[in-house]
Each structure stands twice: as C-alpha cells, then as structure tokens.
Amino acid sequence: MQPKFKAAVAQAAENLVWLLEELVRVGVLQLRSEPSLPEPVAG
C-alpha cells in the first residue's frame, strides 16, 4: 500500500474524531448522563 493511502486512512479517521469533538463543542452531542438527553447516539 502506498504511503499516501495509509496517510489518507489516518486522516479520514481523524476527521471523524474532529466531527465528534466539534459536535460536543457546539453542544449537539452531550454526555449521556445528563438526564434531559436520554436518547443514546446509537439509538
């Protein structure tokens, strides 16, 4: 596998982490323990 593909896989995974962290930062994703938000992400 060419290094650029391997790097792209890592970048794509990091982009997903960015998505989740951004959703947490702006308040779209919140800790499950908060009682006002009972619906799990995986629902």
Partner 1 sequence: MGSQHVKMKPRLVSRLSSEYLLWFLGQVRQAFDGDVIKGVIFLAVTQANVRHIDEGSPAGWTELDNPPPDNLRRPVSAGAVAVALGVPKETARRKIRELVSARFCALAPGGVIVPRRVFLRPGNASGLKRNAEHLRALFSALDRHEVGLVRRYCLAVGEARLRQLGRVSTDFTLRATGILRGLCDGELLAGLIFLSINVANVRHITAAHEPLYATAEDPPPNSERHPISALALSRELGIRRDRAPSCAPTGGRRLLYRRQGRAGRPHRGADAAQVQGRGGPGGGEPGLAA
Residue ranges that bind partner 1, judged by CB under 8 A: 1-2, 4-6, 8-24, 26-32, 36-43
Work out how close the CB of 43 gets to partner 1 at its nearest, in angstroms, rounded to a whole number: 7
Work out how close the CB of 38 gets to partner 1 at its nearest, in angstroms, rounded to a whole number: 7
Cα separations (Å) of 33 from 3, 6, 13? Answer: 41, 36, 26
Distance between CA atoms of residues 10 and 19, nearest Å: 14
Work out how close the CB of 17 gets to partner 1 at its nearest, in angstroms, rounded to a whole number: 5
